[in-house]
Structure 1
């Protein structure tokens, strides 16, 4: 990761039409986007889409204070856009607009799956997990970042589809880097964005065709609901990235088989095959996160036909 200089940075709320209900007017479905534009920028940006009850800050800094993935992509010359999905991060959850939310998760639910898989041994690969930061407060900081999430996968999908047009007006041509439950949102965004989406890196994405999940069944390929957009999400270069010690291994393999059968540019990246073993689900937070980011940048350089690596002094404008 080398030094870089910024031409611009900032953020904006994406806002839907106000909603009239209960005799009052409320903001419609909204999201927040933060951007960082390097001085010598490439002609395609990177859009980070967080998962579950998380938020975009996961890509800015690790729980133990190291530079996050955003810095690696900025160092490589990519304009970076970081999304707080509707009701997450800087966007308050309003049940009148977004519908009900799940109860906030506690330590007992998230620690065995994200922070201490080897200690709790809930799945076969969990014993291999050894990449969580040693900082004793890293787990507490992770927990502090976790907020509400929709009660159905279909609702989460509809929420991001509602702000997609405004989002792509900001990002311009972009590469979606999604994570976990942000994976289905990423496919749905690509269906809305069409040619504006140059590629997709799905990091430990949730779901495979027919998967029955507590929040809904995957009845539309890798999504729970029909797309609001008309483009095929898989007609551009796509990669799925899986960690060695994650519970997502089987689901990711099934999703990879689904995409591969469509005959497009695709790679299923198993990190341990690239010398990056012992990782759990939060790849952007673990101690080898910078090396993983370098691998992702390298995949983009190799698979986007040189388009992403051309210098361009006119950055994407916020």
Structure 2
């Protein structure tokens, strides 16, 4: 049946944009992209792949020698989350490249340009609407804070999202347009994320992993499986706290993951039980970054404690402790990226990762 649209209360006039190439600052970089093949499978119909993934990369034009970054998006997002959502305001990936680091942006299996096949990957949650996406990334301010904005506001005010919070705001429109559902087969999804991250690390060489939200689980697993290729992890409001119930997507039975973090572990952990076997993240430098307006800092503190019990050297960075206020859960594409990037790079330098 054809789908028709009619004007109504939710319709709006097309926004007037000037051509982006007339507004954006010129940059000279090297760039490309490639697919990571999925795991070979065999069926009566012949061979096929499970969970291939697309990677886009960008590097300084002069041939950078600094440590590459592998950037892993969260939840129902895609790798474009790392490019920024405001036209003319570059996101984390281009800012890292401008600082001299090659950046590799992974579309997790079943997300973005990585093919999604329900027969092979299982079902997924519904696509977020404006209300759903807004509740996570751009909630309407509470009445007592509705008029507040800027650095003088309460730390709980979400002022680092200075754009509109309703349909018609170009930034919120782009965020909703890029969002999709999350795979409900969480153990499979996290395992495939980890497999493709490890595959990517084999091509990049030792790298820094940057993960956001639900993308963090694949990062922990990849670091445990390929520790010599992960120099450190910077994670922004990672999926947690440990043992969280994810509703229709299951539960984090193994702490911060739905599959065992330690090689050879075959059963879920109790809440206070240390990981089975050798410390799976032994000595790994980890920086957990929390925004003050998301309400997730308490859960992130539990995550830091669990990581340290797994052998990591985890540090919790609460942005408000550095005088950086107003960030919510989408801090990787909010408007004060340079402020956040500076202490992250200082942490890397302190761990001799350059």
TM-score range, shorter chain: 0.7 to 0.9
Kindly indicate whether the alpha-carbon contact (under 8 Å) linking 2:261 and 2:280 is maintained by their aligned counterparts in 1: no
Instruction: Give the direction of change, closer, same or farther, for the CA distance of 1:270–1:234 in structure 2 (3 Å limit).
Output: farther
* Greater Cα offset, 47-56 or 248-257: 248-257
Match of 2:68 in 1: 45
* Higher gyration radius (CA): 2
Kindly state the Cα deviation for residue 113 of structure 1 after the two structures are TM-superposed.
2.0
Asked if 1:248 corresponds to 2:271, the answer is no
Partner of 1:10 in structure 2? 32
**In the aligned structure 2, how far is the partner of 1:71 from the partner of 1:79?**
9
Match of 1:81 in 2: 104
Supply the distance in 2 between the matched residues of 1:132 and 1:22 (Cα, whole angstroms): 52
- Partners of 2:155 and 2:317 lie apart in 1 by 19
1:186 positional shift: 1.0
Whether the aligned pair in 1 keeps the contact of 2:194 and 2:219 (CA below 8 Å) is no
Per-residue Cα deviation, 1:276-316 (whole angstroms, up to 9, x for no partner): 1111000121111222122222221122x2xx32xxxxxxx
Partner of 1:190: 223
Instruction: State whether structure 2 residue 210 is matched by structure 1 residue 177.
Output: yes
Specify every segment of 5 or more residues in structure 2 that has no aligned partner in the other structure, as ranges. Answer: 1-24, 145-153, 265-278
- Please point out which of 189, 203, 224 is paired with 2:258: 224
Q: Structure 1, residues 114-140: CA drift from partner, whole Å, max 9, x if none?
A: 11252489xxx9952121142621101
Deviation at 1:233, TM superposition (A): 3.0
1:285 maps onto 2:333 in alignment: yes
Comparing 209-218 with 91-100, greater Cα deviation is found at 209-218
**Counterpart among 176, 182, 198 of residue 143 in structure 1:** 176
Give matches, 1:93-104, under 5 Å.
93-104=116-127
Match of 1:72 among 84, 92, 95: 95
Moved more, 222-231 or 191-200: 222-231
> Is residue 57 from structure 1 mapped to residue 83 from structure 2 by the alignment?
no
Residue aligning to 1:90: 113
Larger mean Cα displacement after TM superposition, 44-53 or 8-17:
8-17
Deviations 1:93-122 (A, max 9, x none): 11122121212121122212211252489x
TM-score, normalised to structure 2's length?
A: 0.77
Q: Give the secondary structure class of the aligned counterpart of 2:180.
A: coil
Q: Which residue of 2 aligns with 1:34?
A: 56
Find the aligned partners of 2:140 and 2:237 in 1 and give their Cα distance. 16
Shift, 1:264, TM fit: 4.4
| 1-structure distance, mates of 2:310, 2:38 | 35
RMSD: 2.6
Please name the residue that 1:129 is paired with: 158
Partner of 1:268: 316
Q: Aligned with 1:181: secondary structure?
A: helix
Q: Tell me if the contact between 1:48 and 1:59 (Cα under 8 Å) persists in the aligned partners.
A: yes
Describe the SS at the equivalent of 2:332.
coil
In structure 1, C-alpha distance between the alignment counterparts of 2:142 and 2:256, rounded to whole Å: 31
Looking at structure 2, the residues matched to 29 and 90 of structure 1 have their Cα atoms a distance apart, in angstroms, of 12
Q: Name the CA shift for 1:229/1:165 in 2 (closer, same or farther; >3 Å).
A: farther
Instruction: Give the Å deviation of 1:201.
Output: 0.6
In the aligned structure 1, how far is the partner of 2:200 from the partner of 2:102? 14
Quick one: distance in 1 between partners of 2:342 and 2:242?
A: 30
| C-alpha distance 126-229 of structure 1, shift in aligned 2 (>3 A) | farther
Shift of 1:48: 0.4
